[in-house]
Structure formats: C-alpha cells, structure tokens
Structure 1
Amino acid sequence: MRRLGAAFAVLLVVLAGHAPAAHAEPRQFTFSWQFEEGDALRPRGGTTRGAPLTLATEPSDAWRAVQEPGISKFERDRRAILAMAGGYRTTFDFIETVGFTPGFTPSRPYQSWGTEHIYVVEDSGTFIRLQHIMVMFVADRDGKVQGPFVQKHWRQDWKYEDTDLHVFVGRNRWVYQTRTPDEVRGRWSQAVFQVDDSPRYESLGEWEHYGTYSAWTSGRTARPLPRRESTVRSDYQILEGINRHTLTPTGWVQEEENLKLVLDEHGQPHAETPYLARELGVARYEHVVDFDFSAGDRYWQRTREFWRDVRAAWDAVYAERETFEYLEEVDGQEMFVPLFEHAERLDGGEPYDASAAAEVIRATFARHLR
C-alpha cells in the first residue's frame, strides 16, 4: 500500500483537484449557465482516472432488509442507516445555481470521484457509527494502474432522539445546544466529522420510507467550508445547507442545497450582503462488486484502536466545554497531519502503544483547540 505522502497527494487531487488530467476527456453535466462563453465554467475537481470496475445491478440484501414487511418504523430507520455500509464508487457534483449579488459571476462547478468502503464501527441500537475509508486504484498517463492508495475519509454518527447537539456557529467555533424530547421524538441526528475526527456539522431529521426508496432530510445546518471550497474561496464563512440521504436498491445518494453565508466581524450574518449564492450538490454512492478493498480492511484493522482514542479525546472536549474553537491549521500545519502520520506507522506494522498515541493526541489537541 502507498504511504501518506504519495497516497494523500493523489487523494487531494481526487478530492480538491489541483493537477492536470491524465487524459483530458470532457466530463458530463446536465445543467449549467448556458450563455457563459468559453471554458470559465469548465468543472474543476479531481481529474484522475480509476481502474475498471463493475457496478451492482441487483438490489442489495441490505435494501431488501429495509423493505421487510411488518417491522417497526424505528427498525426500518435503523436498517436504512446500516444499508449505507459497503463498497462504492462515489461521484461528487456541485454547482452554483442562483446568485444573490449585483454582477454575480458563478464559480466553476466541482466534480470528483472516489472508491470507498463504509464500515459499521458501532451499532448499539439507538446509535450507529459509520466510517468511510477510501481505497483508490488510479490510472497514470500511460494507462498503468497504480495503488492501492488508502485514506481515512469522513465519518457519520447517527443517534435516535438525540437531545444534545454540537453546532457550528462560524469563525471556527462550536457550541453545545439542547433539544427537548418533543423536538426530537422519532427523529435521528446525523453528526458528520472530518478525516481526523474533528467535528464538521450535526443536524436532526426524520426518515421516510416508501416502496421504492427511503430518505432522511436534515434541517438547515451551518457547517465550515469543505476542502473543495476552502482551497479556492475566502469571501464567505459558512456553508448553510439542507441534506437529504436517499437509499436506493443499489446504493444511496446525498443531495445538498447550500447557501453561502458571509459573517461580519462579530460573527453575525453580514447586514447588507448575508448570502452570496445558492449551490446544489449531489454525491452518488453506487455499489461495486468484486472490488479489492482489502487494503482498507487492513488499514482499519491496524489503526482502529488509535482512532478510537482520538474519538475519546473529542468526547472529553464535548463533555468539558460548552463552546470551543478549533483551528484546522496552525503555523502552516493542519491538524490531520500528526494524526495521519501516527496512523501510517501503525498501518506499516508498528504495534499500538496507547501511551505514545495519547501523547500524540494530547499535543495535537493542545495545538489546535482553544
């Protein structure tokens, strides 16, 4: 397996898109700004090509389990969440559809892709934890397949009737908020975390089930700028969005409707120009068959104790503080770097030493949390 330097460089190309295409083939999109001339709105994003793969064409066993007659609404919700686990080809598409300012010029659409496996890390009935691990095989300029490149990706935690939320309010700050039992009855929270298990956003929503699909829709939720935006934009501070997760017979789809919100120096919406644009996003997770995710299995087996302790450190932050600031980058180094470096050594075969890991975690948190 390729190590952190090469692997992360490749995956940054996939996720953020800062390299030329191996073969500059046009990519498809359904709608854009029809009268914009030239290639100013040519999609940006990951430009690598992957190895050939086979998509599933038959409904999965997990999908069939969601459709089982006679089970409770709660159990059907649980099965829908668990059905998101498995191996996928994932595609990401984002485009600004409405501009709110005079002379608005849309930014370039974003497209990328990946192959990843989603693992069920925990299932205690009313709480389910899913961890995404990317496993990439990439074709070089000569068509030779390189890889596997493995990268711990994002995480999603689901909790039933959750009354305790940690909410992003902008300017690197999160605050603790509570909901009443009536407000959360029958609903699930989804908390989303970055690649290093730092918080991203959390929202409540309710699952709905129909004969051909199941869907969960969030409330409007503030979140920090994702990497695809933070690497190219500095003119707004919050991505305020509504998410919908839709389970299909052969995968699932995450749809986003996002508003780009500007904050003033006091952390409040800018009085004259609060919103710049509306953006739509679609992430499609399509089941793949006979794809070799074994490098991801091995990575998670060797590093899961370390990431468990990282999560425990975050749990302590949540328990001790009603508000905190998280600085993603300090003196040119992002928080994930020392954590990924330690995980890389474990993936390379180094035995897990809880004391050494605790010191890495302590030093990293001291540097990036306020």
Structure 2
Amino acid sequence: MKVFLLLALALPAFAGITIDKNKDIQEIKKMTGCYEIKFQSAETFAYNSGYDFYDRYASGALEWIFVDSEDKDSVNIQHILVTPHAIVKHWRQQWDWEASNALDYRGFSNWNNRTVKNPQGNWVQRVYQVDDSPRYECSAPWIHTDKKSFWECTANAPLPRREFSIRSDYNVLRRTNRHEQTSYGHVHDQDNVKVNMLENGMELKLAMEKSYNTYVKVDDKRCQPARDWWKEHKLFWRDVVKVWDATLYSRPSIRFDFKKTGAPMWSRLFALDDKFSTMPGYNSELATQEIKDLIESHIVE
C-alpha cells in the first residue's frame, strides 16, 4: 500500500506536469487584454426522470481585462464590459499564491472562511461579483505540460446571474472551473451541478450543466472606453475592495441579505460610485466610511 501511494503521488512528474510559480503568473496574466467574449450554457443530464430541462443560454460582449494590482504572491484582475450603451464594471478575480484560507459557499448567502489543506504549490482563485461581494473561491495548482497550461478546481457558488432571478428550485451551483489558454485567447470551461442545499445540510442534486465561455483576443483599442472609464472610477472601487477584504476575512463566517434595505446592494454601491467619482477631488476617507456602512447594513448577524 505504501508503495502504491508513493507511485500515485509521483505520477504527475512522469506525466510531464510541472509546478512553476513564475510560469503560473505568466499564464494568469495572459488572460488580460481586450476580448470578444461568448457565454454558453446548457443543462445536460438530470438526476431524476421528472426534471424539466431549461433552455440553453448564450450571450456575448466586449470585455477589457487587466491587472489592477499585484505583488510577489498575488495578482488582482478586473473585468470591465464595453456595451453599445454603457461601460459596466464586471466581475473581479484575485489569484493568491499558497493562500492558507478560502471562502466556502454554504448556500443561503452564507460563506465560511475555511483553512486550505496542503496549500503548497496552489493558487486560490477568489472570484467576486460586480460589487466585489464574494462569489466563490478555490485552491488548486496551475498545471503545465508540454502541450497545455490550465488551472482546474471545484467550488460551491451562488446561482449565476442568468438564473438567480428566475430559479428557486436550487440554491448552489457546484462549479468545476477550468481556465485554459488557447491559440485565440483563453477559455473558461465549466462542468456544473445544480444543487438544492437544505438547512439541515442535506443535498438534492437536480441537474448537470455544461458552460463554455470563450475569450477571443482583439485589438486593445476597441476597449479604450473601458480604460478611460476606469481612470475615473478606480479610486472608489479600490476602496470598496479594501473594505470587503477587512470584512470578509476577519471572521469565521459571514452571511448577507443582499436586499435587506430594499434596494440590491450592488445598485447601492454603484450609486455611491456615481456620487464619489463625479465629485471634484475624490474623498477616500468619506467614501470608505459610506462603503463600510452600506456593506455592514446587509450583513445578517
């Protein structure tokens, strides 16, 4: 048995897999630039014969993806959508090298701050919503072979934006996320399971889903409006990130009511952005206090 385990642990080395932090960072940064994106999702299999499959989903847009901050152990990447009618702050992903903690979504707008087992060689990808509230986090290594580089990990997440307003039959999307470089850009490949998680901890699986998001690189000039928009709004959203970091990772768990005050939290934060980013001379101290008050008003004690 001991020999078998040793061989199993050593197998990646024989398969041409390497762990290389510098290479990892290069691959993470390759995801930046201006992209034509296409999101596609389809339910594939059901766990019971009576399940009524939902229609396939597809959408597309232009998106500017860039490194907003980094240090030797972290890369923070912001996404901004460019639409015919507006510039929209989109999701954010932060990559932390050998991080010791990651948020675990447990349904009911509740995240547990859990310890990462065996973080050596791993990157925690932390994914945040448009208002920088938490979405999902997962720890895994980037894998480099002679033919491809990819990162893959499974984590619980809230319902995707395409379904959260129209579905009530499940409350957790168990996502297996795979990020892989391609000849045209990169792909976010997902194998998902839709789960109804009960208060007592039991799980009822409804259906499997395949999602395939492609990012085709185009001329950076097409995303210039997003770059210009960020210059005017970045100070506010950087303060939002600081408040979120202090709020999310300083306690063992946290639960939100995102509509506790009536209006959704994201719309209230976007309104604050409009307020402070249009003022002559950005007031970080005042903005930070209002951001903190707003976020704390949505926390369920």
Q: Same fold per TM (> 0.5)?
A: yes
Partners of 1:86 and 1:296 lie apart in 2 by 11
Partners of 1:278 and 1:207 lie apart in 2 by 25
Partners of 1:300 and 1:261 lie apart in 2 by 37
Q: Secondary structure at the match of 1:351?
A: coil
Q: Is the 8 A contact 2:116 2:139 kept in 1?
A: no
Q: Is the 8 A contact 1:338 1:360 kept in 2?
A: no
Partners of 1:230 and 1:179 lie apart in 2 by 28
Partners of 1:317 and 1:363 lie apart in 2 by 11
Match of 2:120 in 1: 185
Partners of 2:152 and 2:181 lie apart in 1 by 12
Partners of 1:98 and 1:204 lie apart in 2 by 27
Match of 2:102 in 1: 165
Residue 179 of structure 1, CA deviation = 2.2
Partners of 1:208 and 1:263 lie apart in 2 by 31
Indicate yes or no: 2:257 matched with 1:327. yes
Match of residue 366, structure 1, among 288, 296, 299:
296
Q: Which amino acid aligns with 1:165?
A: A
Q: Secondary structure at the match of 1:292?
A: helix
Match of 2:216 in 1: 286
* % same residue: 31
Match of residue 92, structure 2, among 141, 155, 160:
155
| Unaligned residue ranges in structure 1 (runs of 5+) | 1-70, 138-146
Deviations 1:248-275 (A, max 9, x none): 2321000111111112233x124xxx10
Q: Is the 8 A contact 2:19 2:141 kept in 1?
A: no
Q: Which amino acid aligns with 2:162?
A: R
Match of residue 75, structure 2, among 122, 128, 137:
128
What's the C-alpha RMSD, in Å, of the aligned pairs?
1.8
Match of 1:244 in 2: 178
Deviations 1:121-158 (A, max 9, x none): 11212211100011122xxxxxxxxx4x1010000000
Residue 318 of structure 1, CA deviation = 2.8
Match of residue 233, structure 1, among 162, 167, 172:
167
Partners of 2:280 and 2:51 lie apart in 1 by 53
Q: Is the 8 A contact 1:214 1:248 kept in 2?
A: no
Q: How many residues align structurally?
A: 283
Q: Is the 8 A contact 2:33 2:220 kept in 1?
A: no
Q: Secondary structure at the match of 2:166?
A: coil
Residue 115 of structure 1, CA deviation = 0.5
Residue 347 of structure 1, CA deviation = 4.8
Deviations 1:216-256 (A, max 9, x none): 111x2111111111111001110011100001232100011
Indicate yes or no: 2:202 matched with 1:269. yes
Q: Is the 8 A contact 1:260 1:276 kept in 2?
A: yes
Partners of 2:278 and 2:198 lie apart in 1 by 46
Deviations 1:15-38 (A, max 9, x none): xxxxxxxxxxxxxxxxxxxxxxxx
| Unaligned residue ranges in structure 2 (runs of 5+) | 1-17
Aligned residue runs from structure 1 range 288-307, under 5 A: 288-289=218-219, 291-307=221-237
Match of 2:13 in 1: none
Q: Which amino acid aligns with 2:111?
A: W
Deviations 1:140-191 (A, max 9, x none): xxxxxxx4x10100000001111111111111111111124xx122111101
Q: Secondary structure at the match of 1:244?
A: strand
Match of 2:270 in 1: 340
Residue 351 of structure 1, CA deviation = 2.7
Residue 292 of structure 1, CA deviation = 2.8
Residue 348 of structure 1, CA deviation = 4.2
Q: Is the 8 A contact 1:302 1:346 kept in 2?
A: no
Match of 1:94 in 2: 41
Match of residue 132, structure 2, among 190, 197, 205:
197
Match of 2:283 in 1: 353
Q: Secondary structure at the match of 1:76?
A: helix
Residue 212 of structure 1, CA deviation = 4.3
TM-score normalized by the length of structure 1: 0.73
Match of 1:313 in 2: 243
